[in-house]
Structure 1
Amino acid sequence: MARYDSILDTIGRTPLVRLARLAPPDVNLHVKVEAFNPMGSVKDRMALAVIEAAERSGALRPGQTVIEATSGNTGIGLAMVCARKGYPLVVTMAESFSLERRRLLRFLGARVVLTPAAEKGSGMLAKAIELAETHGYFLCRQFENEANAEVHSRTTAREILDDVGDEPLHAWVTGFGTGGTLKGVSRVLKAADPRTRVVVAEPDNAPLLGSGQAQPPGASHPCFRPHLMQGWSPDFISPLTQQALAEGLADEVVPVAGEAALRLARDLARKEGIFAGISGGATLAAALAVARRAPPGSHVVCMLPDTGERYQSTPLFAGIEDEMNEEELALSRSTPGYRFDLPAAVPAPASTVAEPVATLDAEAERFVDDTLARARVVMFALAWCEFCWAARKLFDRLGIPYLTVELDGPACQGDDLGGRLRPVLARRTGAATIPQIAIGGEWLGGCGELFAAWRDGSLGERLAACGIAYDAEAEIDPERLLPAWLHPRHATA
């Protein structure tokens, strides 16, 4: 494996993969798997290019906040770049885009400002402009920024030509969003071989290009309708896309149904082992239409813009359940052991059971006493334990300051302090389980007792008696803080 000085050096050089089971047998249909970029999408290329172009021109000052309107992938790429380079990032995004994208952005340190879904892509762009002008942020302007197209001419297109080699490329198939990939790749492919067809796919219910109607200045396109392909076809034809069309770089526009996009994204996973998003399924639908009428032996390249992981809250995963279905249950029941569908008394893991000892360790006793004196809310926990994490979540949601002692953490590893603390805790609390929580020096119990105390109001009373502030107005169902497999509905599993 190569060694890199920065995660940004790993962007690009994504693989071209020939489809074996979905393509017509006499046509070489290849997919450009952009999920191999470090943040999982083709937009990583543009994110780096836009920031570095702005640095070179002086448009972006050191430490200045970057802002952009995005359906998610551009923002995620920008969040990576900004994190590495030290720029704060604000992203504006319509509320209709998937929850996974928001969480990824925030995990990477970006701030996410949602805009009304009814305002579509135009609304999130207008909000980004408004915030940039008000606060002096650097606006990336991905829909018109030539750096967006340039990076695809310099990298994506060259990679395709290098990978295809001496074989003539019959067609290249892509969707369009900002138009950067379309403009940047198509001009290089056309220059290399004017016979290469550039095919642009778009939603069949939102034929912005297929309608032939011009883009109204500063308004939504009259043919736009909401569609399933996130990142594809905003409610306007971007300047970069308009430039590509004006230069005659697109030979054909293929409409794609949303259901076809979903079906082919699933087929890619189940028949080719390639995990792509909805837009990848949509682009493949158009590429298959091209391949079926291509001459035998032709080479067709299809863009797969991103990974399917950020679509789990969308219709792409409809019908994909968390629980075992009947077929899986039948398979489980085909052998007698380790049945997930039978109630059973499951012994606690050995690591959570305190072994009886004749004499408690004096140092461990002093440690517990000192810890209870240091903080008004104390939790003796295990770093890996889901119940401990659920308790932490409740404390955090309520704004309760607390001290955690992790019995399996580095601080308790020396001289097996963690192991010596467990018998002390078991003797004092009357329970061998972890976590054990104390408020004001008095033992409350474990995760279950904490949740029960929140529900019946006694937790609030104990906190108030100790002068501990918390969010008394919070409406929290504590059971929902547990992982799904620990939820009470699984109690007999």
Structure 2
Amino acid sequence: MARYDDILATIGDTPLVRLDRLAPSGVHLYAKVEAFNPMGSVKDRMALAVIEAAERSGALRPGQTVVEATSGNTGIGLAMVCARKGYPLVVVMAENFSVERRRLLRFLGARVVLTPASEKGTGMLAKAIELAETHGWFLCRQFENAANAEVHEQTTAREILRDLAGEPLQAWVTGFGTGGTLKGVATALRRESPGTRVVVAEPDNAPLLGSGIPQPATSAAGVYSSHPSFRPHLMQGWSPDFVSPLVQAAVAEGLVDEVVPVSGAEAMRLTRQLACREGILAGTSGGATLAAALAVARRAPAGSHIVCMLPDTGERYLSTPLFADIPETMTEEELALSRSTPGFRFDAPADVPAPAPAPAAAATDVEAERFVAETVAREPVVMFALEWCEFCWSVRRLLAALGIPYHSVDLDSVPFQENDLGSRIRPVLAARCGARTIPQVFVGGELVGGCTEVFDAYRDGSLQTRLAAAGVPFEAGVALDPQSLLPGWLQPRMRA
């Protein structure tokens, strides 16, 4: 084993691993396994590069606090770098990203300020900008920082070409978040391996690049606007709700040859396949990138060499006893930081909201109304849902625990984006249910309601009565507190 002066010297030089069991016969499919970085993700490279570039330029002063908005991996990489170099770090993260990430950040000494999930990635960044401007902190600006792309041009791309030992690379496949990996590696490949196709994967229900719609302009304050094609999706760290300047530059420079849409279900399936068939523990974004790489591999000529990026480790998605004493919610110090600027605060009182006003009458949509009526009449148990929604997943967990067969109409899925049918169904449901919220569950043609109403109906036994009357089988002896099925970040608020 080599000997290093500090942990930062171990960043990079990650292995290129052949996926022999998952690849089509005759195609050489390799994964660049970035979990071998010391903090388990590709973002370690960028974290070190951004901090050292700021040190060289004088933008980061000794002892100055560093702040960044991140879904987790960038923050964890920054926490390692800042811990070693002696900079305080504040990470701004939406409340719906995995609890494991925020606990690991705190374990590494960072402070974590949460923002409401409804404000998405743009809200995270806006809060980070507020904090930086108010307190004089150094903001990394990973989505536009040139050092983010340069480190991948100088290291990641060169490692891939070196490890192929002169074999031609037909395709390189990646997802995108900040765009640093995409722009940096693609720039080097265009120069050193011009025959390589650069393939970009993105969520099928959030086609920011595939839609062809330009990214809305950035505000004067440097805050990005949400892209109209964005929908929440299952690939954490991928595709924020805007197309970053680094991604825009990669597209404008002609570095992207193809965009491949990937479903969340396929991403999760292939993440599991990576583990159980190849022995590689990767995150959901790695499974999604592999899905796109397999689509390319299936139509590639025999003997082709294809490389896909696996950005992080699957352990980033687990809860373990190691972090049992690390808090999940903001500490008093973190709440004070949140209150130090006015916007995007997460510590608003958890009051019970007033009942929503009755939905306004909408113009008749015959197709949408017919679809709803026919589906409710045909299916014994039907749930009108969203693929990404955690309340929908909570209801799915209850139905699965009770062994209840059901039909899910996922209004944000790709099939329902045709002719905007999913969006057109929602006002029809609102008029029928008296509520705009999703999910809405029907049993035997009768409305049960949304997540809370379904849980209440299970507690008081009326759900079981309706199921029996409709002839729907279910497990009667299950002892279950349905509130335990809610997302962890919501449960403290529900108990308040």
TM over 0.5: yes
Q: For 2:26, what is the secondary structure of its paired residue?
A: coil
Q: Distance in 1 between matches of 2:267 and 2:172?
A: 18
Whether 1:17 aligns to 2:23 is no
1:229 Cα deviation (Å)?
0.2
1:250 match: 256
Q: Which residue of 2 aligns with 1:208?
A: 208
Give 1:390 shift.
10
2:176 maps to 176
Distance in 1 (alpha carbons) for counterparts of 2:303 and 2:176 = 27
Q: Pick from 267, 270, 294: which aligns with 1:264?
A: 270
Counterparts of 1:390 and 1:111, CA distance in 2: 17
Cα distance in 2 for residues equivalent to 1:110 and 1:25 = 46
**1:455-492, Cα deviation, whole Å (9 max, x unpaired):** xxxxxxxxxxxxxxxxxxxxxxxxxxxxxxxxxxxxxx
Whole-Å separation in 2 of the counterparts to 1:94 and 1:292 = 37
Counterpart in the other structure of 1:280: 286
After TM superposition, the score normalised by the length of structure 2 is 0.63
Written as runs of structure 1 = structure 2, the 5 A alignment for 1:121-160 is 121-160=121-160
| Matching residue's letter, 1:240 | L
SS of 1:109's partner is coil
Question: What is the deviation of 1:22?
Answer: 0.4
Tell me, in whole angstroms, the C-alpha distance in 2 between the residues paired with 1:93 and 1:165.
Answer: 40
Counterpart Cα distance in 1 of 2:236 and 2:166: 35
CA separation in 2, counterparts of 1:50 and 1:194?
28
The one-letter code of the counterpart of 1:244 is A
Amino acid aligned to 1:26: G
Q: Name the aligned partner's letter for residue 293 of structure 1.
A: R
SS class of match (1:75): helix
The code of the aligned residue for 1:153 comes to E
2:317 is matched with 311
Query: Following superposition, which runs of at least 4 residues in structure 1 exceed 4 angstroms of deviation?
Result: none
Alpha-carbon distance in structure 2 between the residues aligned to 1:189 and 1:306: 22
In structure 1, the residue matched to 2:342 is: none
Partner residue, 1:43: 43
Q: How far apart are residue 90 of structure 1 and its match?
A: 0.2
1:432 is aligned to: none
Which position in structure 1 is the counterpart of 2:434?
A: none
Cα drift, residue 297 of structure 1: 0.2
Deviations 1:316-345 (A, max 9, x none): xxxxxx9xxxxxxxxxxxxxxxxxxxxxxx
* Partner Cα distance (1:295, 1:152) in 2: 28
Deviations 1:299-332 (A, max 9, x none): 000000000011126xxxxxxxx9xxxxxxxxxx
Partner in structure 2 of residue 294 of structure 1:
300
Structure index of larger Rg: 1
Q: Separation in 2 of the partners of 1:289 and 1:190? A: 22
Give me the whole-angstrom Cα distance separating, in 2, the residues matched to 1:17 and 1:254.
22
Partner of 2:241: 235
Distance 2:123 2:72 in 1: 15
Report the residue type matching 2:8 in the other structure: L
CA separation of 1:390 and 1:45: change in aligned 2, threshold 3 A: closer
Unaligned runs of 5+ in 2: 218-223, 332-496
State the alpha-carbon separation in 2 of the partners of residues 194 and 212 from structure 1.
Answer: 25
Alpha-carbon distance in 2 for matches of 1:282, 1:236: 19
| Number of the residue aligned with 1:219 | 225
String of CA shifts for 1:320-371, please: whole Å, max 9, x gaps.
xx9xxxxxxxxxxxxxxxxxxxxxxxxxxxxxxxxxxxxxxxxxxxxxxxxx
Distance in 1 (alpha carbons) for counterparts of 2:154 and 2:166: 19
Q: How many residues align?
A: 321
Distance 2:25 2:310 in 1: 21
Please, which runs of 5 or more residues in structure 1 have no aligned partner?
314-321, 323-385, 398-493
Superimposed CA distance per residue, residues 385-438 of structure 1 (whole angstroms, 9 cap, x where no aligned partner): x9xx999x9xxx9xxxxxxxxxxxxxxxxxxxxxxxxxxxxxxxxxxxxxxxxx
| SS at structure 1 position matched to 2:114 | strand
| Equivalent-residue separation in structure 2 for 1:40 and 1:193 (angstroms) | 28
**Could you tell me the TM-score, scaled by structure 1's length?**
0.64
Superposed counterparts of 1:271-420, under 5 Å: 271-312=277-318
Question: Whole-Å Cα distance in 1 between the matches of residues 55 and 170 of structure 2?
Answer: 38
AA matched with 1:227: H
AA of the residue aligned to 1:245: V
Which of the pair has the greater relative contact order for Cα pairs under 8 Å at 6+ separation? 2
The alpha carbon displacement at 1:20 in A equals: 1.3
For 1:390 and 1:203, how far apart are their aligned partners in 2? 33
Deviation, structure 1 residue 268: 0.2
Distance 2:234 2:248 in 1: 23
